[in-house]
Structure 1
Amino acid sequence: MQLDLTSNESVENKRLDPHQWVVKYADYLYGYTLVRINDEDLARDLVQETFLAALECKEKFGGRSSEKTWLTAILKNKIIDVYRSRSSGFAKSSAVLETQEGDTDFFDHDDGHWNDQHRPAELGIEQPDALENQEFQRILQACMKRLPGLWMSVFTMKHIDDESTEMICSELKLSSSNFWVIIHRTKVNLRSCLQRNWI
């Protein structure tokens, strides 16, 4: 009878090492959070909460993913909780989120893309490595920080985390029409802010 050592080895290699989490993952998790939350103090708090939550449920770690992936998943849930709390502070009634006259003229009603007459001017960062530009990143983060919390949450989930519209609406308890109004208004606001501060 031959023993299968490969499965035991893979489980052995997937064991958690909480003593190394801060050294190995704190910077990564902090950067991941800061891009999505845009608040340094809150980002630090969420990373600490992630480590504590992971310690509390470490026996549930099944080894089907790496430590880093598992910790990131815990952190992502905490970020979504922040998005929910931000969105709960805003009235979501149709009266508040109703599209104002002219808002939708910026975008094509069918595909959501900019109409030609309202297409943003080039920002001068169209090179392939443009988003590496630190000054642009700083201005973009400043513009995003000015957005209402709900708008920033929706925009971040859609365009940074690449979440589905259905998932965002479900997590933030938005109707589909409210979601699209928020996305359009966010694009208009970011466009305006970038054109004022970057060009």
Structure 2
Amino acid sequence: MSQEQRAKDPQAPDPSAWVDEHGDYLYRYALFRLRDSALAEDAVQETLLAALQAYANFAGRGSERTWLVGILKHKITDHFRRISREASVPQREDEAFVDENFFRTEGEWAGHWRAEQAPSDWHASPVALVEQGEFWLVFQNCLGPLPPRIASAFVMREVDGLTSEEICEVLSIKVNNLWVMLHRARLHLRHCLELNWFKRPTDAH
């Protein structure tokens, strides 16, 4: 946006400022979720375009970055919903099998670990971990070997905060299959993080 246009309407959105201030952050988030640089770039571009079109609805409520990330999350969710509908992915036997001993099956905590099966306490503050950029690099490397649908299900649940019903709708799966996918992801990540982060020398982090 030119300085002349900004002078005429100081409240008008400035996409160039969004790119400068939030572009790298949005791209890193999209890359973390999509694990493909081209898809991440497309998602960010679609996010900025949608933000420009919907700026009147923003009206300064909350931070601009939080608002943009919210739009980006919707774009990423739409991507997974679209590819789930376009491609019929056969279920593997280990994804279709449900061992109900691992998870609660009733009540508001359905789908969560049973107390006796839950991972052990790492004695680490989640807030402190989030603030450590190196931890997220290790986390992303640990997430990489997982099948894309399983990794996506885990991130939708634990990072994006989607409900089980929302994830099942996006990925076109049943809730029992989701529990198995989350279980596989948690076991893998637990082992990988314990090996590559929590059991490293304390002076390394």
Counterpart CA distance in 2 for 1:34 and 1:170 is: 22
Structure-2 residue corresponding to 1:22: 19
Q: Normalising to structure 1: TM-score of the pair?
A: 0.69
Does structure 2 retain, via aligned residues, the 8 Å contact 1:94–1:178? no
Counterpart CA distance in 2 for 1:155 and 1:130 is: 18
Shift of 1:178: 1.8
Counterpart CA distance in 2 for 1:165 and 1:27 is: 30
Counterpart pick for 2:89 among 88, 91, 94: 91
Does structure 2 retain, via aligned residues, the 8 Å contact 1:86–1:149? no
Structure-1 residue corresponding to 2:113: 113
Amino acid at match of 1:113: W
Structure-2 residue corresponding to 1:133: 132
Q: Normalising to structure 2: TM-score of the pair?
A: 0.68
Amino acid at match of 2:42: D
Matches of residues 1-199 of structure 1 in structure 2 within 5 Å? 15-54=12-51, 58=53, 61-66=55-60, 68=65, 71-84=68-81, 87=84, 91-93=89-91, 95=93, 97-99=95-97, 103-110=99-106, 111=109, 112-116=112-116, 118-123=117-122, 125-126=124-125, 129-198=128-197, 199=199
Computing the radius of gyration over CA atoms, which structure comes out larger, 1 or 2? 1
Any stretches of 5+ residues in structure 1 without a counterpart? 1-11
Does structure 2 retain, via aligned residues, the 8 Å contact 1:169–1:176? yes
Kindly tell me: are residues 124 and 97 of structure 1, through their superposed partners in 2, closer, same or farther at Cα, counting changes over 3 Å? same
Does structure 1 retain, via aligned residues, the 8 Å contact 2:73–2:160? no
Counterpart CA distance in 1 for 2:130 and 2:165 is: 28
Superposed CA offset, 1:32-73 (max 9, x none): 323433444532332123334555xx2x54334446565444
Superposed CA offset, 1:97-150 (max 9, x none): 3226xx54444555422443x443444635862343344322211111111111
Does structure 2 retain, via aligned residues, the 8 Å contact 1:30–1:44? yes
Q: Root-mean-square deviation (CA), in Å?
A: 3.3
Report SS of the residue matched to 1:63: helix
Counterpart CA distance in 2 for 1:154 and 1:65 is: 32
Greater mean alpha carbon deviation, residues 25-34 or residues 127-136:
127-136
Report SS of the residue matched to 2:119: coil
Kindly tell me: are residues 77 and 147 of structure 1, through their superposed partners in 2, closer, same or farther at Cα, counting changes over 3 Å? same
Any stretches of 5+ residues in structure 2 without a counterpart? 1-8, 200-205
Q: Quick one: percent identity of the two aligned structures?
A: 36
Does structure 1 retain, via aligned residues, the 8 Å contact 2:119–2:190? yes
